[in-house]
Amino acid sequence: MKLSRSLASCSFVLSALCVTGSFAAQGAAPHWEYRGQHGTTHWAEIDPAYESCAHGRAQSPIDIRNAQAAQLPTLEFAYGRVTPSIVNNGHTIQVNIPRGQFLRIGDHSYELVQFHFHTPSEEHVQGKPSAMVAHFVHRDAEGKLAVVAALIQPGKAATGFETVLSHLPQHAGETLTVDGLELDLAGLLPAERRYWEFEGSLTTPPCSEGVRWMVLTQPVKVSAEAIRSMRRLYPANARPVQPLNGRVVRISQ
């Protein structure tokens, strides 16, 4: 296979949600990190636009506990095979997806824009994170976001995540395309589609709220080496869990 690399600037106003097109903002956004003086506890101090990171009442990620059983709609993934571009955006590895891949929840449709990784997982379950998580970011016709989180654990690999994690751009701003590489998007997800649902936010600055979150209860497996490959680039790119502030977490039956 032929590899193609390019360096491209991308505004980090939406950080891990940063994609080519309408999500990209004009100009450079303030610098933020996960640790140190620009780390998670200081995000709101970096720029007034990041105020929600400190004062929002429905922030993500969360520790999932005491979920209430509910008749939630089935997640219908109209995903096919795509040729992706793999981006190192300076905060994570992000896989940009061509248009035409959809998630339907009840009578509402969202288009998949990209997925990206955090290690360890940002979401905790009963106080414990997974080794990694993949966030599948969707947007509806009005620009509202819905994120499906697939928790990742080490084990016998059975998903296409291995393919992505073996082709990681090594430098911030670098985009990698691989001739002949196709991803079966539906095959990335676990067979069991039961999920936890809650209202939340972006997990990176500006921490905007109003994001619909769905965390799949069944994790997927990747090899320990694939996880190490990601951690060599980003050893800890997870925001700490945030208070629920009275929010209810529901689990599909």
The predicted-structure confidence for 46-75, as pLDDT tens digits, reads as follows 999 999 999 999 999 999 999 999 999 999
Q: What is the mean pLDDT of the chain?
A: 90
Identify the weakest region by mean pLDDT among 7-21, 33-47, 110-124.
7-21
Integer Cα distance of 173 and 6 in angstroms: 8
Share of the chain above pLDDT 90, in %: 82
**Of how many residues is the chain composed?**
253
pLDDT band at 15 (very low <50, low <70, confident <90, very high): very low
Amino acid residing at 238: A
pLDDT (0 to 100) of residue 10: 39
Q: What are phi and psi of 48, to 5 degrees?
A: -55, -30
- State mean pLDDT over 221-240: 96
Question: Is a pLDDT exceeding 50 seen at residue 214?
Answer: yes
Question: Is a pLDDT exceeding 70 seen at residue 5?
Answer: no
pLDDT band at 24 (very low <50, low <70, confident <90, very high): very low
Question: Is a pLDDT exceeding 80 seen at residue 14?
Answer: no
Residue-wise pLDDT for 147-170, tens only, equals 999 999 999 876 789 989 988 999
> Tokens for 148?
């499906």
Collect all residues with Cβ–Cβ distance below 8 Å to 99 and sequence separation of at least 6.
111
Integer Cα distance of 209 and 147 in angstroms: 12
Burial tier of 109 (Cβ tally within 10 Å: 0-12, 13-18, 19+): middle
pLDDT band at 220 (very low <50, low <70, confident <90, very high): very high
* Structural domains in the chain plus CATH codes: 3-252 (3.10.200.10)
Residue 207 backbone zone (phi > 0: left; psi -120 to 50: alpha; other: beta): left
Question: Is a pLDDT exceeding 60 seen at residue 88?
Answer: yes
Integer Cα distance of 73 and 151 in angstroms: 20
pLDDT (0 to 100) of residue 89: 96
Full-model pTM: 0.90
pLDDT (0 to 100) of residue 67: 97
So which residues are the catalytic ones? Answer: 91
